[in-house]
A and B are shown apart, each in its own frame.
Chain A
Amino acid sequence: MNRSISPRVYRILLLAYPAQFRREYGLQMAQLFRDSWRYQGRQGTKFGLLHLWLRTLLDLIQTVPHEHLHNLGKEKSLMNNLRKDALAVAGCLAIIVIAFFLLQYGRSHNVPSILLFGYILDAVVTTGVIGNLVVFFLTKTTAQLTSDRTLDFPNPKRCPSNPAGVYRKPYRPTVQFGKRSGGICR
């Protein structure tokens, strides 16, 4: 592997980690890999770099799921959202079942009003599901395109309240109810 590519490839692989973890430690992890890669390069051993990559990939495979699970467990709001989503899905399924029986009844007993109501319920659920999917994918795509793909490198700009400190370039603010997060001044 081209020597100058390895650290860059590793920085790309860091995208697998949760965004918060990456923002906090991504730079340091990239530094650590780069230092290890340089050390192996200076050693000049035949399989040193290969061995480094194997260990790093194994480390990645073991720790990425762990960090995501750890994040999931910590995020109570996410669990609450998951519960709400589960309820929403159950509600949709219930409406689909009701619509199905209404349509069956309307067709078999030739009751136009019930048939119409069944069609309306079907249309509502279908629109809701498709609409949610569209919004979901649009949100994900927008988040991918506008999210902080690069690591938070310390900005040479001084932190206004702490001249000796380091200002991190602000990541895309996450809007939560009543809260907004922005850049971090150290």
Chain B
Amino acid sequence: MFHVLLAIADKERHGYEIMQEVQERTEGSVRLGPGTLYGSIKRMLADGLIEESGDRPDPEFDDERRRYYRLTNFGYRVAKAESERLASLLKSARSKKLFSQPGDI
């Protein structure tokens, strides 16, 4: 779910773009299938984390109408809170030398 929130944090995207963005960002380790993606989207819509921003054609993809999604204000706050939580965990891991910084030997 957090992957999807991250994917649409900077701009609204449709399903395939979300899937691609997640795959690229995780270097292929996370691949969202259609059922997983739209199951998550359904639940996030129900929870008010994301909203549909309308159907419109995407020239990159045969101009077929696609449904775009974006974060709601609440979704943005949730994504931000989760990011801060993860950053805090990362900071703790670094302080215990469990996570090496780039450039470390």
Contacts and interface: CB of A to CB of B under 8 A. Distances in A.
Interface of A: 17, 21, 24-25, 28-33, 35-36, 55-56, 58-60, 62-64, 66-67, 154, 166, 186
Interface string B56-95: 0000010011110000000000000000000000000000
Contact of B36 (A33, A36, A59): A59
A154 B55 CA distance: 10
A24 B34 CA distance: 13
Interface of B: 14-16, 19, 31, 33-39, 41-42, 55, 61, 64-67
A35 B16 contact: yes
A165 to B, nearest CB: 9
B15 A62 contact: no
A32 B34 CA distance: 7
Nearest to B55: A166
B41 A32 contact: no
A29 B36 CA distance: 10
Contacts of B64: 31
